[in-house]
Amino acid sequence: MSDSKLVACLKHWQVALMILLLVASAIAIGPRFEDGKFTTNLQYGLDLQEGTWLQMEFKAEVVGFETDRSVEDFVADLQKQLDAEIYLIDENKLEIRSYYPEETLRTIFSAAGGRLTSYEQGVSRDTADDVKRILENKLNALGTKDARVNPLTGISGVSHYIRVELAGVSLSQAKEIVGTQGKFEIRIHTTGNQTEHVLYGDTITTVGVPSHEPPGSPVWGVSFTLSDEGARKFQEGAIATGAVSAPDAHYLDMVLDGNVVYSAPLSGDLAAKLAVEPIRQLYASTGTGAAGLEAAKNLEIHLRAGALPVDVTVAGSGYVPAALSDYFRMMCVIAFVAAAIAVGVVIYYRYREPSIVFPMIGTNLTEIVILLGIATLIQQLDLAAIAALIAVMGTGIDQLVIITDEILHEGKVPSPTLYKKRLARALGIILVSAFTVIIAMIPLALMDLSSLRGFALITIIGVVIGVAITRPAYGEIIKEILSK
Amino acid sequence: MGLIAYDVNKYTPRQMMMIPMVILILSLAILGYNMATTGMPVRPGIDFSGGTAVTLFTTDTPGQLEQKFQGYPLLSVGEGVNNGKYLKFGPMDDASLQALAALINAEYPDAKIDQIGASFGKTLQEQALLALIISFIGMAIVVFLAFRTLVPAVAVIFCAFTDIAMTAAGMGLVGIELSLPTVAALLMLIGYSVDSDILLTMRVLKRQGKLEEKLSGAFQTGIIMTTTTLAAVAAMWIIAFVGQITVIWEIATVLLIGLVLDMMNTWLTNAGIIKWYVLKRGGK
């Protein structure tokens, strides 16, 4: 291509934009040698990186109900029948944090003077977020790098599963990390900085969600209950340390794995009661406003000592060893190069004209580089995403063929007006087929079908880049090249 | 393009549609038979039925592997080149699963293990089916909006349906199971399928000129489109087969079957319908 044609190409904003994005993407991908090894900024998902995934199912359900009785009475009745924590999450929706089959609940609801109107296994979005937060806290505390926790929430807002991906961790290690609890302890200050052990977390029987106490006040806090033994220890400790008689001089510390997570004096009211009898129902206040609520949420997690508010079972799991993931990564590169060469051969066979074939392949590869550049920001690459990448290359070249054939109708380059008309028509065809691909992939991108999300996202982004940027640019390039 | 000696103008619409319709009826019969006997049109893999899949590289023979894992519900041992072995286990309880994982880790530290619980598989299956239906409806709406005429739009949608039905039947014949990756491939096929159909319809309906010329022009472009895609997918297929990358191999196989069938459906079924439609309107 002569210099003047090159300049003419660059004057089209489509071409300039494409080249700009190509350069930006190359920078984003950042291929380089580090310690003699070739690295990039591409993020790899499991399959292309050693690690474990665990998909866990919540042993809880969100149910709709109807009752003529007052909601409080009704829920109180249910509470007696079911050995589970029950929360009202909506006017007519309950979250039951223990697993019961639909039929069992239907019977119990009828007996309590109501009716079960819907049943879905899982937890509310808020609870799922709590679980995510607890798991992330735990993983961070253990220094696990590169952990991902994602609740899979359906269209109804109920999360049935939560997926955990841990890079560089084996399956048994992962299960251990997710399953183990921290060590929780309550200590009371004696003199100076000295504290004395009162009880361990195993005597805490239930932990509530953040609430106002007394109801209606602006103060946030978390209520929790102790077992009889715990309540007795708590009373003994409070009396022995002198906290009952002088609460402000003897702060109470909550300690998780050696770190103080909460420290406050007993309230005067509680101190007076403890002097007389053991108290099982306790409440720790954390302050007012958003800060108080945030502190209450964290305290709830600490009180549970890393135990999840809802039981989970492992619904699916998998492990990819390092040797295999390295191998997969290498094979993906080979598959990609082979596909690119195959496409080049077919295109050359059809057009036999280097001035068409090279821009075509060049545009196609540019599309892939821009796609990878965007992927560094939003999507990890796994095997399914690589397959999508190769498929994008396939559709990309298809559409360049449409443009070329449409413009080169009868083998001649048309006049500028005719050219415009033909390019518009070619882009029309491309637009319709691009829309169908996008529409076909949207369900996969929105649904949480584990690994297929990457496949769908890469396909959609690839098609959008093609339609919006690279294919119009190719139209301009081919015109400049072929015009005499 | 001399690869395919087919003259899209040589036959009448009726002749063109004969072969695809026979294959479609056969495919639907296969799918229906599967549905009646197993409850699923295509045999579900462990993604949907639940179970454990293990990929490992070993010189042990399948017989030795069967012996080694005889305490577990081993369903099949597949062999590939490079000593790759694929073991499939049926659903089992958590304790057995842990024991199995420990055994595999000890004997074959470089094995890849994936396990899906039966109820999780059922959820995935329902969602995958839903995704397929929504995708198809979405595609149909886009096609209708694009053409706004009944016959051409229905022809494109019918072709996409035919592609998927035939490919699904073909999967059964070559022994590929329905899994998350193959569902993705079927969805991809919806996109590929309408690509050449839209080109054909646009060219014939919106361009000026003789019907024969427009048809053969569209055919030339369409065939080169599908062959380039086919070339990319075939390359992916070969590498994945040699390199034992099951996920990509399965996707590539489904796309290969689908693309070949799509050529037939586009240039016989869809071209037949559009020809009939134009001739009936008295167009030339």
The mean pLDDT of A99-108, rounded to a whole number, is: 90
Over 80: is that where the pLDDT of A139 sits? Answer: no
Domain boundary among A261, A289, A317: A317
DSSP state letters, B115-135? EE-HHHHHHHHHHHHHHHHHH
* Shared-domain flag, residues A88 and A134: yes
Task: Give whole-number Cα distances, B254 to A112, A193, A396, B237, in Å.
Answer: 54, 70, 19, 10
Cα(B34)–Cα(B41) distance, integer angstroms:
5
**Mean predicted confidence (pLDDT) in A254-272:** 84
* Closest approach of A28 to chain B, Cα-based (Å): 26
- C-beta atoms of B233 and A394 within 8 A: yes
> What confidence score (pLDDT) does residue A371 get?
93
Count CB-CB contacts under 10 A for residue B146: 22
The radius of gyration of chain A from alpha carbons, rounded to an integer in Å, stands at 31
Give me the mean pLDDT over the B146-160 stretch: 91
Question: Using a CB-CB distance cutoff of 8 angstroms, which residues of chain B are in contact with residue A433?
Answer: 191, 194-195, 198-199
Q: For A167-193, how does the pLDDT look when each residue is reduced to its tens digit (9 = 90+)? A: 888 777 787 777 766 778 888 888 777
Q: Give chain A's mean pLDDT.
A: 84
Q: Do A149 and A23 sit in the same domain of this protein?
A: no
User: Residue A448's pLDDT is what?
Assistant: 67
Does residue A129 share a domain with residue A165?
Answer: yes
User: Residue B40: its pLDDT value, please?
Assistant: 85
The shortest C-alpha distance from A426 to chain B (Å) reads 9
* Closest Cα in chain A, distance from residue B22 (Å): 27
Q: Which amino acid is at A296?
A: A
Mean pLDDT, to the nearest integer, of B15-33?
Answer: 92
User: Would you say residue B211 lies in a domain?
Assistant: yes
Q: Which residues of A touch B182 (CB under 8 A)?
A: none
Q: Quick one: pLDDT band at residue B1, thresholds 50, 70, 90?
A: very low
Residue A464 is predicted with a pLDDT of: 92
Same domain, B125 and B110: no
Choose from A161-165, A214-218, A410-414 the range with maximum mean pLDDT.
A161-165
Confidence band (pLDDT; 50, 70, 90) for B2?
very low
Query: Same structural domain for residues B91 and B163?
Result: no
Q: How many domains does chain B have?
A: 2
Query: Which of A:135-154 have CB within 8 Å of B?
Result: none
Per-window interface: A 297-336 vs B, CB < 8 A: 313-321, 323-324, 327-328, 331-332, 334-335
Whether residues B82 and B171 share a domain: the answer is no
pLDDT, tens digit, 9 for 90 and up, residues B119-145? 888 888 888 888 889 989 999 999 999
Q: What is the CATH number of the domain that holds B102?
A: 3.30.70.980
Cβ-defined contact of A436 to B206 (cutoff 8 Å): no
**φ, ψ for residue A199, nearest 5 deg:** -155, 165
Residues of chain B in contact with residue A455, where contact means CB-CB under 8 angstroms, are 181, 184
Looking at the fold, whether B83 and B178 belong to one and the same domain comes out as no
Give the separation between CA B19 and CA B13, rounded to whole angstroms.
11
Do residues A291 and A143 both lie within one domain?
A: no
The Cα–Cα gap between A312 and A315 comes to 9
Helix ranges restricted to H, chain B = 13-38, 46-49, 62-68, 94-107, 118-147, 150-174, 180-206, 211-243, 246-264, 271-280
Question: Are the Cβ atoms of B243 and A334 closer than 8 angstroms?
Answer: yes
Judgement on whether residues B139 and B271 belong to the same structural domain of the protein: yes
Least Cα separation, residue B139 to chain A (angstroms): 5
Judging contacts by C-beta atoms under 8 Å, the chain A residues touching residue B198 are 429, 432-433, 436
> Looking at the structure, do residues A292 and A189 belong to the same domain, yes or no?
yes
- Any idea which residue has 């229905």 for tokens? B154
CB contact under 8 A, A335 and B239: yes
Q: Which two tokens stand for residue A115?
A: 């009716």
Mark whether B154 and B221 lie in a shared domain. yes
State the CATH number of the domain containing residue B243.
1.20.1640.10
Q: How many helices (H) and strands (E) does chain A have?
A: 15, 19
Number of domains making up chain A:
3
Asked whether residue B5 is domain-assigned, the answer is no
In a domain, B262, yes or no: yes
- Domain's final residue, options B116, B143, B158: B116
Average confidence (pLDDT) over A352-377: 90
* A255 or A368, greater pLDDT: A368
ipTM of this complex: 0.85
- Would an 8 Å CB–CB cutoff place A455 in contact with chain B? yes
Rounded mean pLDDT of A365-369? 93
Distances (CA, A) of B44 to B50, B118, B181, B195: 9, 12, 12, 28
Place of tokens 């033909």: A422
Answer yes or no: do B202 and A429 touch at CB < 8 A.
yes
Same domain membership, residue A110 and residue A20: no
Q: Check CB contact under 8 Å for B111 and A440.
A: no
CA atoms of A232 and B112, how far apart (whole Å): 51
Together in a domain, A325 and A461: yes
Q: Do residues B26 and B91 share a domain?
A: no
Q: Does residue A8 share a domain with residue A67?
A: no
Q: Hey, are the CB atoms on A443 and B135 less than 8 Å from each other?
A: yes
- How many A×B Cβ pairs under 8 Å? 236
Chain A neighbors of B142, CB-CB under 8 A = 432, 435-436, 439
Are A401 and B55 in contact (CB < 8 Å)? no
User: pLDDT at residue A10 above 80?
Assistant: no
Taking CB atoms and an 8 Å cutoff, what residues of chain B touch A334? Answer: 239, 243
CATH number at residue A466: 1.20.1640.10
Residues B146 and B258 in one domain: yes
Chain B residues whose beta carbon lies within 8 Å of the beta carbon of residue A58: none
A391 contacts in B (CB within 8 Å)? 188, 232-233, 255
Q: What is the largest CA-CA distance in chain A?
A: 103
Q: What is the pLDDT of residue A311?
A: 83
CA distance, residue B246 to nearest chain A CA (Å): 10
How much of chain B exceeds pLDDT 70, in percent?
96
Residues for chain A: how many in total? Answer: 484
Q: Is A437 in Cβ contact with B143 (below 8 Å)?
A: no
Predicted confidence at residue B41, as pLDDT, reads 87
Q: How much of chain B, in percent, has pLDDT values that exceed 90?
A: 27
Task: Answer whether B142 sits within 8 Å of A57, measured CB to CB.
Answer: no
Instruction: Report if residue B2 sits inside a domain.
Output: no
Q: Which domain holds residue B62?
A: 51-116
pLDDT of A483 > 90? The answer is no
Q: In the predicted model, what is the mean pLDDT of residues A440-450?
A: 79
| Residue B189 included in any domain | yes
Which of A320, A349, A401, A460 should be substituted to probe chain B, the one whose Cβ sees the most B Cβ atoms within 10 Å?
A: A401
Cβ contact A156:A201 at 8 Å: no
- Which residue type sits at A261? V
Binned at pLDDT 50, 70 and 90, residue A80 comes out as confident
More confident residue, A479 or B238: B238
Facing B112 at nearest CB: one of A324, A332, A350: A324
Band the pLDDT of B284: cuts 50, 70, 90. very low
Q: Do A319 and B181 touch (CB under 8 A)?
A: no
Q: Let me know if residue B89 belongs to a domain.
A: yes
Domain limit, last residue, from B116, B142, B166: B116
Res. A119 pLDDT band, cuts 50 70 90: very high
Residues A193 and A280 in one domain: yes
Tell me, yes or no, whether B163 and B232 share the same domain.
yes
Same domain, A136 and A147: yes
pLDDT at position B168 = 94
Q: Are residues A201 and A61 in the same domain?
A: no
pLDDT attached to residue A362: 92
Q: Residue B258: what pLDDT?
A: 94
Confidence of residue B84 (pLDDT cuts 50, 70, 90): confident
What is chain B's mean pLDDT, rounded? Answer: 86
**Chain B interface includes A423 (CB < 8 A):** no
Cβ within 8 Å, pair A346-B231: yes
> How many angstroms separate the CA of residue A8 from the nearest CA in chain B?
28
B200 CB neighbours in chain A (<8 A) are none
Q: How far apart, in whole angstroms, are the C-alpha atoms of residue B118 and residue B120?
A: 5
Most confident of A82-86, A151-155, B181-185: B181-185
For an interface test with A, the pick among B133, B199, B203, B263 (most A C-beta atoms closer than 10 Å) comes out as B199
Are B187 and B83 in a shared domain? Answer: no
> Which pLDDT value is given to residue B273?
93
Q: Percentage of residues in chain A with pLDDT exceeding 90? A: 11
For residue range B233-278, what is the model confidence (pLDDT) as tens digits?
999 899 988 887 888 888 899 999 999 999 999 999 999 999 999 9
B206: which chain A residues are within 8 Å (Cβ-Cβ)? 425
Out of B93, B116, B139, a domain closes at B116
pLDDT at A157: 81
Instruction: Assess contact for B181 and A387: CB atoms under 8 A.
Output: yes
Q: What percent of chain A has pLDDT over 70?
A: 95
- A253 and A329 inside one domain: no
Contact by Cβ (8 Å): A405, A473: no
pLDDT at position A412, please? 64
Residue A246's domain spans which residues?
184-303
| B8 falls within a domain | no
CA B273, B275, B279, B281 torsion-angle sign: positive
Distances (CA, A) of B78 to A324, B51, B62, B83: 18, 15, 8, 10
CATH number of the domain within which A213 lies: 3.30.1360
Choose the closest CB to B94 out of A314, A347, A350.
A314
Q: To the nearest whole angstrom, how far is the Cα of B159 from the nearest Cα of chain A?
A: 14
* Same domain membership, residue B210 and residue B88: no
Residue range A126-152: mean pLDDT, rounded: 79
Is B110 in Cβ contact with A323 (below 8 Å)? yes
Check CB contact of A428 with chain B, cutoff 8 Å. yes
- Checking if the pLDDT of A431 tops 60, the result is yes
Question: Which residues, 6 or more positions from B37, have their beta carbon under 8 angstroms from its beta carbon?
Answer: none
- Out of A317, A348, A365, a domain closes at A317
Q: How far off is chain A from B173, nearest CA to CA, in Å?
A: 23
Residue B81 banded pLDDT, cuts 50, 70, 90: low
Nearest CA in chain B to A327: B243
Let me know: does B204 contact B218? Beta carbons within 8 Å: yes
Query: Would you give the distance in Å from CA A107 to the centre of its chain?
Result: 36
What is the reported pLDDT for A183? 76
Asked if A57 is an interface residue toward chain B (Cβ–Cβ < 8 A), one would say: yes
Of the candidates A342, A386, A451, which has its C-beta nearest B180's C-beta? A451
The answer on pLDDT for B184 being more than 60 is yes
Question: CA–CA separation, A89 vs A93, rounded Å?
Answer: 6
Q: State whether B217 and B127 are in the same domain.
A: yes
Spell out the residues 6+ positions from residue A35 whose beta carbon is closer than 8 angstroms to its own. none
CA distance A261 to chain B (A): 35
Q: Which residues of A touch B55 (CB under 8 A)?
A: 324
Residue B6 lies in a domain: no
Whichever domain contains A60, its CATH number is 3.30.70.100
Cβ–Cβ contact A111 with B under 8 A: no
Least confident of A296-305, A438-447, A461-470, B217-226: A296-305
